[in-house]
Structure 1
């Protein structure tokens, strides 16, 4: 299901279609959306605030990263790395790995 989220900054309002998002990372005070086509969009919103706007197929894999589970190509369980369709690799925290495996299996049943 496609959903459009609205990101407001002091300078602009940007609609973002969630199906185009590969993953979202935060570094310091800057939150960066990574898209399928390799483009990026940055804003000063917190990852917690953005996470509340996203559909259930987005999973927080680390304290600084959320991924779109529809974009996962594979998960290397030993190294805790999710490989995404756009070629990016995202580290998964130890605590989140079990939850992510369970969530992916649950999403497959839906």
Structure 2
């Protein structure tokens, strides 16, 4: 995704740039200290995401947003919480209150809507580290009380997202078949009784999901 930063404080610019370097699917194509110059840039460049400060010279971040006819997705970055309600009324993705950690930044990034079937990978936080996983390598995801287990062909990752959040973020070739399981449909080898086989792995089908599973697969 192409993104720009509109931020007049250099330390804040550096923090966002540093965080973006760890996210290879995001391409920073411009950094601006005021919104007027950014408006001209947007006339001739395709931008998917803006990191936007509120207190800017010439015009505020809120005024800038109100002047955009077809705005890209926006994450507000501000030291002031009092503008949060107005920001969300303008349909921003998230409101990051400075200073913010990389983990909080990543949570904002995860809210960005994309065509789910176009997504190639997803970030997983496991054991205090962040890993980028190819979505097609995920075989199934199992929900536990405080975390989810993400199984790929080679590794197991523990993630803090709930299964409900995973359902919302995953492409359509994943499906919920049990209160505790989401599977990759392309990995199904057969269905027998109340179980789905993903090669040699047996996953139970929840009673309330059986009819939905059969309907979706047919």
TM bucket, shorter chain: 0.7 to 0.9
- Classify the secondary structure of the residue corresponding to 2:172: coil
Q: Does 1:95 align with 2:190?
A: no
1:72 pairs with 2:188:
yes
Correspondent of 1:27 among 144, 149, 157: 144
Tell me the CA shift for residue 94 of structure 1: 1.4
- Matched residue of 2:158: which SS? strand
Instruction: Choose 1 or 2 for highest CA Rg.
Output: 2
Aligned length: 101
TM-score (norm 2): 0.43
Say which SS state the counterpart of residue 161 (structure 2) adopts: coil
Match of 1:51 among 167, 190, 207: 167
Q: Structure 1 residues 41, 59: closer, same or farther in 2, change over 3 A?
A: same
Residue equivalent to 2:198:
84
Shift of 1:3: 2.0
Contact 2:127 2:158 (8 Å CA) reproduced: no
Q: Residues 11, 93 of structure 1: CA spacing in aligned structure 2 closer, same or farther, 3 A cutoff?
A: same
Comparing both structures, which one devotes a greater share of its residues to helix? Answer: 2
Structure with more of its chain in strand, by fraction: 1
3-state SS of the aligned residue for 1:55? Answer: coil
Structure 2 unaligned runs (5+)?
1-116
Higher relative contact order (CA 8 A, sep 6+): 1
- Kept in 2, the 8 Å contact 1:20–1:35? The answer is yes
- Structure 1 runs of 4+ aligned residues shifted over 6 Å read none
C-alpha RMSD over aligned residues: 1.8
Contact 2:196/2:202 (<8 A) preserved: yes
Q: Give 3-state SS (helix, strand or coil) of 2:136's partner.
A: helix
